[in-house]
A and B are shown apart, each in its own frame.
Chain A
Amino acid sequence: NAGVTQTPKFQVLKTGQSMTLQCAQDMNHNSMYWYRQDPGMGLRLIYYSASEGTTDKGEVPNGYNVSRLNKREFSLRLESAAPSQTSVYFCASSVGGFRVSYNEQFFGPGTRLTVL
């Protein structure tokens, strides 16, 4: 099993460009998450999907959109990238019952995004 996979691993964008970060999991998990990690800030939740067909905002949703394409895939879109969105983005998944936060989250390897 690959676990949680993310593409691309690295990306450089110019201000105003758009892109989609892809995430897939093969663990049959119901819940999926997108975080960003910035130096000294820990992980901050951008969006999450408790189950297929649902998405909700996290702590820092501005400038992002998400799509839960199916049970396996959860994508994050930047419509008009800004330098403040330079960060490392992590996708994670958990078995389910998202609001029961005792479920272990499994993380992908991350996408390093630079916006110039």
Chain B
Amino acid sequence: AQSVTQPDIHITVSEGASLELRCNYSYGATPYLFWYVQSPGQGLQLLLKYFSGDTLVQGIKGFEAEFKRSQSSFNLRKPSVHWSDAAEYFCAVGEQYSTLTFGKGTMLLVSP
């Protein structure tokens, strides 16, 4: 069965600093990989997704993620964090004939 691990429950980053959120998955074939963001009191919004092709994918709000098959990872990055990026971030993995599996989330705190 597929699984997703987000090792960091909380991360604090200074405004203007770079960000990397980690995601590792367990899956047999090429997975479909997603990052969603949840602002306080809101539903989830898709940031970006990877299915195939270029392993570096660009998303909304200046985010990008890199698929590394050898490390079973799909880490989310942003070069310069803004206070409005404070939210909870979820990595999710799917396959063609299954439901999505979500990680437990990483809460991003942005300090001034």
Contacts and interface: CB of A to CB of B under 8 A. Distances in A.
Interface of A: 4, 40-45, 48, 58-59, 90, 92, 98-102, 104-105, 107-110
B43 A101 contact: no
B102 A42 contact: yes
A104 B46 contact: yes
Contacts of B95: 101
B94 A102 contact: yes
A90 B51 CA distance: 25
B52 to A, nearest CB: 10
A104 B41 CA distance: 20
A49 to B, nearest CB: 12
Given A42-B102, A101-B32, A102-B49, A109 B42 contact: yes
Smallest CB-CB A-B distances: 6 pairs: A101-B94, A107-B43, A42-B104, A43-B102, A42-B102, A102-B32
Given A40-B104, A43-B102, A101-B95, A4 B43 contact: yes
B11 interface: no
A3 B36 CA distance: 17
B92 to A, nearest CB: 8
Contact of A45 (B41, B46, B99, B105): B99
A105 B46 CA distance: 8
Contact of A110 (B43, B45, B94, B100): B43
Contact of A99 (B41, B44, B97, B105): B97
Interface in B21-70: 32, 34, 41-46, 49, 51
Given A40-B104, A42-B104, A100 B43 contact: no
16 contacts: A4-B43, A40-B9, A42-B105, A43-B90, A44-B102, A48-B99, A90-B43, A92-B44, A99-B98, A101-B95, A102-B51, A105-B46, A105-B100, A107-B45, A109-B42, A109-B43
Contacts of B98: 99, 101
Given A48-B99, A102-B94, 6 more contacts: A40-B104, A42-B102, A43-B44, A90-B44, A105-B44, A108-B43
